[in-house]
Amino acid sequence: MANWTLNFQSLLNLFLESQCPLCQRPTPQEFCQDCTRQLQRCKLSNHQEFWQGELPVFVWGNYSGTLKRAIAALKYDNQPQIAKPLGQWLAQAWLNSQPQQKLVVVPIPLHAAKLKIRGYNQAELLAESFCHFTGLGLQPQGLKRIKATDAQFSLSGSQREENLADAFVLGTEFHRQRPNNRVLLLDDIYTTGATVRSAVQALQKQGIAVYGVVAIATPSRNMLPKGKIK
């Protein structure tokens, strides 16, 4: 009887396992052990290197290799479950580096047209996981994106700024009631900072203070000089 129970449990575990979204190996977690190790190698040694200046930026990893593939799968391959471990790792790094603060986390929103196509906002899913593990408040409706912007990766710095000018306004919740605590913006990738600067401007125009920005990844070539937001 014991052997039958053990064999049945092993068979049940096999059926319960899903495929790793990066390598398709069976795994009971979001990523298999091998891909998890590869993702952890993308982790930055100093998440707070740029946590200073006018708009501090806190980043978990280097946007390359396996981490770049994971974010692409999250955004474009309908793999929303990827947000849970990435948000948790960002949260762990935050808790290990930052003093406790009363903050409200606002994910960078998608335009309604893009949200309809994708079915979810990856920044909001990351923020849900991040807030679950940090205990910080979450306000997914703090901002609204009213401008359907072009893809940023092919644009120059000045074109990015122009592309995102007046792209955000206050969302329904902040229209109803301004937050009592400072805002911590969250996005998946931080590059030149054009997106978050546009979001910050929308908040500050309404007298809402921004504490900083957290992101899962940034390209190493775009890492900014200390204390500066370019």
- The band of 164, judged by pLDDT with boundaries at 50, 70 and 90, is confident
161 has pLDDT over 80: no
Return the pLDDT at 88: 98
Q: Is 179 helix (H, G, I), strand (E, B) or coil?
A: coil
5 has pLDDT over 60: no
Q: How far is CA 154 from CA 33, 157, 167, 224, in A?
A: 34, 10, 18, 19
The answer to whether 198 and 208 are in contact (CB under 8 A) is: no
Return the pLDDT at 165: 76
User: Residue 166 has what DSSP assignment?
Assistant: T
Mean pLDDT score of the chain, rounded to an integer?
A: 87
Q: For residue range 11-67, what is the model confidence (pLDDT) as tens digits?
A: 444 455 789 999 999 999 999 999 999 999 999 999 998 898 889 999 999 999 999
**DSSP annotation string for 1-68:** -HHHHHHHHHHHHHHH-EE-TTT--EESSSS-HHHHHHHHTTB-S-TTTT--SSS-EEEEEESSHHHH
73 has pLDDT over 60: yes
